[in-house]
Amino acid sequence: MNLNKAMIIGNLTRDPEMRTTPSGINVTSFSVATNYVWKDQSGQKQEKAEYHNCIAWRRLGEIAGQYLRRGAKVFVEGRLQTRDWVGPDGGKRYRTEIIAENLIMLDRAGASQGPREDEQPPLPSEEPVINVQSNAGGPADNPAEEEIKVENIPF
């Protein structure tokens, strides 16, 4: 049995970049920073930031590009994927990314900056979905599951 699962909670370090492949598939890339806090041998608090490259495809990528902004707190669940290529200097380069399968926006409603300037704000009936999963199988494919909307969150 094999398992490739990554789960992180952190803040976006930059606005998402949304692109479309030549075959017409939407893909959005964004970076999430997480912090690791510990006490060293002398009892001093230490902190280290890790930066994670994330990729969201299709509808999940569209939603990430539309609603996420730099600084937003987000939960990303997916799988790890490492790409390699040869750089301009002839050296082999590697990049490990989280391919998002589930995305939960953790900021309170109205706490983020909202849509970009070139977009219309969502109508009340079009509130962003908090828990969004990719169409690559899983609970989002089950129409019996109820969507969680911002106005239904008790805090």
Enter the pTM of the model.
Answer: 0.67
**What pLDDT does 5 receive?**
96
Tokens of 28: 């959005």
Tell me the pLDDT tens digit for each residue of 118-144. 444 444 444 444 455 555 444 444 444
Give residues with Cβ within 8 angstroms of 36, minimum separation 6: 47, 48, 49, 50
> Does residue 119 fall inside a structural domain?
yes
Contact 96, 53 (CB under 8 A): yes
Positive or negative CA dihedral for 110, 113, 57, 86? negative
Give the C-alpha separation, 150 to 59, whole Å.
19
Positive or negative CA dihedral for 151, 153, 154, 155? negative
Total domains in the fold of the chain: 1
Give residues with Cβ within 8 angstroms of 130, minimum separation 6: 104, 105, 148, 149, 150, 153
% of the chain beyond a pLDDT of 90: 58
CATH code, 101: 2.40.50.140
Q: What one-character-per-residue DSSP string does 71-88 give?
A: T-EEEEEEEEEEEEEE-T
> Does residue 112 fall inside a structural domain?
yes
Q: Residue 35's CB: how many other CB atoms inside 10 A?
A: 10
Which DSSP category does 43 fall into?
S
> Does residue 1 fall inside a structural domain?
no
Residue 87 has pLDDT above 70, yes or no: yes
- Structural domain of 16: 6-38+45-152
